[in-house]
């Protein structure tokens, strides 16, 4: 009886305590802010392509082209003279070429992850950034492909890497991970292009229809006749250019059904590529017997690092575009928060891998392995190791703080530091193990030549040139997908207490304000 009374008193006290507790409500932040309608989204994204290029674009484009010419000049000098101009010499026969290749391949991983994995997980926040991230993936793969292609020396024989029938019966060595790279990266690039292009087909039709509507109306706001004729000529170009790319898309129900099924299939096909491509790239090192490379932690370590650097580059690109094009209502603080948190998570995984490498070297009791990691931290390349560790481990930890994530300028600077650190990670992995291997008499010190530096710097110009062309001629964001995540796109949604179905649907008109 006494025990029953105690239990009753305890239950009463617990209920009284719980009644005083007010659970915190998690605020569901909208993915499109500003209470805009569908017409605003269409016009905001299309105007980036349809209006004259802003002044900053004309400043950046010549700078990017001049910088890209550095790579061209470096490659011409390489082919005409020999691979020795890259500063490669025993024992360091892999230098900046393989470092830059792995760096650029890693940059492209965020695009596939945002498009494929986040699509399968139905993460609506990906919609505002996935198009630019996919473009970034393709342009990064182009930059990455330059280095292994010319690293073979006789670039005109690079086709020997493919298993093509020939009179000498010479076949590639399929047991080499360098050969696996050829198939992994080419497959990755092909699927990424298909994914990117197919996602733009509905938007191409919108740009086509808007150009046709303006031509049929025949009125342009330009003051002079010359400007009017130029605007009309531009619309004629858009009519046929986007018309061909739209592949007859008419916004029909069966078009959307087939589109969504194909998009889902490509997302499923791309998901293994996110994991497999950088895993195979890590095998370039992991299957070797060299201390510091011969470790099983490399595949997950490389994949996490690739996603880390990829999201860093997405932040580096999207934050300036958000300010320059006034896209604050489409790229909201929620998008920035999520990307910062992914950088925080993957950066923590990378930091854990750095620490575990030392533990595995100690636990394995292999003196060569132990020396390799002690040499990284305290040897001749220790300066590079500390830059790597500071940028990749300490920098992302600042993303724990909401005040840091809300400071766009600080996030942008940190995103640059992330990719600086990831480049040094590839440099440390590649060079330190080669410079100090098993035989002390063959030890050396690697220093890049001016050709190395110019060729690598030029790839940033090539990447920037391609990205600026993308901004000028192709839609920056998927218009239809953004509308799907708006409150008006939810058939069961409500806005300010009113049924969303009671809102009148936007009507087509000659200003291009359609409901695509």
Count the Cβ atoms, other than its own, within 10 Å of residue 314. 25
pLDDT over 90 at 232, yes or no: no
- The arithmetic mean of pLDDT across residues 186-206, rounded, is 91
Per-residue burial over 108-131, b = 16 or more CB atoms within 10 Å of its CB, e = otherwise: bbbbbbbbbbbbeeeebbbbbbbb
Biggest alpha carbon–alpha carbon distance for the chain: 99
Task: Supply the pLDDT for residue 508.
Answer: 40
Helix (H, G, I), strand (E, B) or coil at 499: strand
Q: Is residue 114 very low, low, confident or very high in pLDDT (cuts 50, 70, 90)?
A: confident
Helix (H, G, I), strand (E, B) or coil at 114: helix
How far apart, in Å, are the Cα atoms of 405 and each of 36, 151, 332, 340, 414?
A: 25, 40, 12, 7, 10
Phi, psi for residue 381 in degrees, rounded to 5: -110, 25
Task: Supply the pLDDT for residue 474.
Answer: 94
Query: What's the token pair of residue 161?
Result: 């890497």
Higher pLDDT, 152 or 376: 376
pTM of the predicted structure, to 2 decimals? 0.87
Q: What is the pLDDT of residues 403-442, one digit of tens each?
A: 999 999 999 999 999 999 999 999 999 988 888 888 888 8
pLDDT over 60 at 27, yes or no: yes
Report H helices in 287-405: 298-324, 333-363, 367-378, 382-389, 402-405
Q: Is residue 166 very low, low, confident or very high in pLDDT (cuts 50, 70, 90)?
A: confident
pLDDT over 70 at 272, yes or no: yes
Query: What's the token pair of residue 364?
Result: 């394995």
Query: What's the token pair of residue 47?
Result: 């105007």
**Judging by beta carbons within 10 Å of its beta carbon (0-12, 13-18, 19+), is residue 459 exposed, middle or buried?**
buried
Task: Supply the pLDDT for residue 503.
Answer: 39
- The arithmetic mean of pLDDT across residues 172-191, rounded, is 84
Query: What's the token pair of residue 53?
Result: 């290029």
> Residues 248, 208: contact at Cβ < 8 Å?
no
Helix (H, G, I), strand (E, B) or coil at 272: helix
What is the C-alpha to C-alpha distance for residues 348 and 332, in angstroms, rounded to an integer? Answer: 25
> Residues 40, 436: contact at Cβ < 8 Å?
no
- The arithmetic mean of pLDDT across residues 237-252, rounded, is 91
For CA atoms 382, 385, 391, 395, the dihedral sign is negative
What is the C-alpha to C-alpha distance for residues 65 and 423, in angstroms, rounded to an integer? Answer: 23
Q: What is the pLDDT of residues 297-326, one digit of tens each?
A: 888 888 899 899 999 999 999 999 999 999
pLDDT over 80 at 172, yes or no: no
> Residues 44, 128: contact at Cβ < 8 Å?
no
Q: In whole numbers, what is the pLDDT of the chain averaged over residues? A: 85
Angle at 215 between CA 210 and CA 221, to 5 degrees: 90
> Residues 347, 417: contact at Cβ < 8 Å?
no
Give the lowest-confidence range in 126-130, 225-229, 408-412.
Answer: 225-229
Task: Supply the pLDDT for residue 25.
Answer: 67
- The arithmetic mean of pLDDT across residues 384-388, rounded, is 93
Query: How many Cα atoms within 13 Å fall on the side-chain side of residue 222?
Result: 16
Q: Would you call the peptide bond into 91 cis, given omega within 30 degrees of 0 as the criterion?
A: yes
- The arithmetic mean of pLDDT across residues 122-129, rounded, is 89
> Residues 344, 396: contact at Cβ < 8 Å?
yes
DSSP labels for 438-464? Answer: S-GGG-------HHHHHHHHHHHHHHH
Query: What's the token pair of residue 452?
Result: 């190395």
- The arithmetic mean of pLDDT across residues 245-269, rounded, is 90
pLDDT over 70 at 199, yes or no: yes
Query: What's the token pair of residue 230?
Result: 């130029």
- The arithmetic mean of pLDDT across residues 16-34, rounded, is 74
pLDDT over 60 at 506, yes or no: no
pLDDT over 50 at 208, yes or no: yes
Q: Is residue 181 very low, low, confident or very high in pLDDT (cuts 50, 70, 90)?
A: confident
Per-residue burial over 36-57, b = 16 or more CB atoms within 10 Å of its CB, e = otherwise: eebbbbbbbbbebbbeeeeeee
């Amino acid at each position: 009886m006494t025990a029953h009374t105690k239990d009753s008193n305890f239950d009463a006290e617990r209920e009284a305590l719980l009644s005083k507790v007010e659970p915190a409500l998690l605020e569901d932040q909208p993915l499109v802010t500003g209470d805009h309608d569908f017409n605003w989204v269409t016009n905001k994204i299309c105007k980036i392509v349809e209006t004259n290029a802003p002044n900053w674009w004309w400043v950046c484009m010549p700078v990017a082209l001049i910088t890209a010419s550095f790579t061209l000049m470096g490659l011409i000098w390489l082919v005409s003279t020999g691979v020795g101009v890259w500063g490669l010499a025993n024992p360091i026969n892999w230098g900046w070429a393989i470092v830059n290749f792995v760096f650029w391949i890693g940059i492209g991983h965020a695009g596939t992850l945002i498009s494929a994995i986040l699509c399968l997980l139905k993460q609506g926040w990906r919609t505002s950034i996935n198009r630019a991230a996919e473009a970034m993936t393709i342009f990064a793969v182009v930059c990455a492909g330059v280095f292994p292609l010319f690293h073979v020396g006789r670039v005109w024989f690079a086709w020997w890497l493919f298993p093509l029938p020939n009179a000498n019966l010479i076949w590639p060595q399929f047991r080499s991970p360098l050969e696996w790279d050829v198939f992994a990266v080419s497959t990755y690039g092909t699927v990424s292009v298909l994914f990117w292009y197919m996602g733009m087909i509905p938007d191409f039709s919108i740009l086509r229809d808007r150009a046709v509507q303006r031509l049929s109306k025949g009125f342009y706001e330009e003051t002079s006749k010359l400007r009017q004729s130029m605007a009309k000529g531009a619309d004629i170009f858009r009519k046929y250019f986007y018309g061909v790319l739209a592949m007859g898309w008419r916004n029909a129900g069966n078009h959307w059904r087939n589109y969504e099924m194909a998009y889902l299939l490509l997302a499923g096909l791309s998901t293994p590529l996110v994991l497999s491509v950088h895993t195979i790239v890590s095998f370039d090192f992991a299957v070797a017997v060299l201390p510091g490379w011969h470790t099983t932690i490399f595949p997950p370590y490389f994949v996490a690092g690739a996603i880390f650097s990829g999201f860093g580059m997405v932040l580096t690109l999207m934050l300036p575009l958000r300010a320059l094009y006034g896209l604050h209502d489409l790229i909201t603080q929620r998008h920035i928060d999520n990307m910062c948190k992914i950088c925080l998570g993957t950066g923590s995984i990378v930091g854990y891998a750095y620490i575990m490498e030392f533990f595995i070297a100690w636990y394995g009791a292999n003196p060569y392995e132990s020396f390799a990691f002690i040499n990284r931290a305290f040897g001749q390349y220790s300066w590079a190791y500390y830059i790597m560790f500071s940028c990749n481990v300490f920098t992302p930890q600042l993303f724990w703080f909401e005040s840091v994530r809300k400071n766009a300028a600080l996030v942008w600077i940190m995103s640059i530091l992330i990719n600086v650190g990831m480049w040094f990670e590839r440099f440390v992995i590649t060079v330190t193990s080669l410079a100090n291997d098993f035989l002390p008499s063959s030890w050396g010190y690697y220093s890049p030549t001016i050709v190395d530096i110019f060729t690598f710097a030029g790839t940033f110009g090539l990447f920037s040139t391609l990205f600026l062309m993308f901004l000028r001629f192709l839609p920056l964001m998927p218009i239809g997908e953004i509308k799907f995540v708006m409150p008006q796109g939810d058939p069961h949604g409500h806005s300010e207490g009113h049924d969303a179905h009671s809102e009148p649907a936007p009507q087509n008109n000659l200003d291009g304000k359609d409901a695509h």
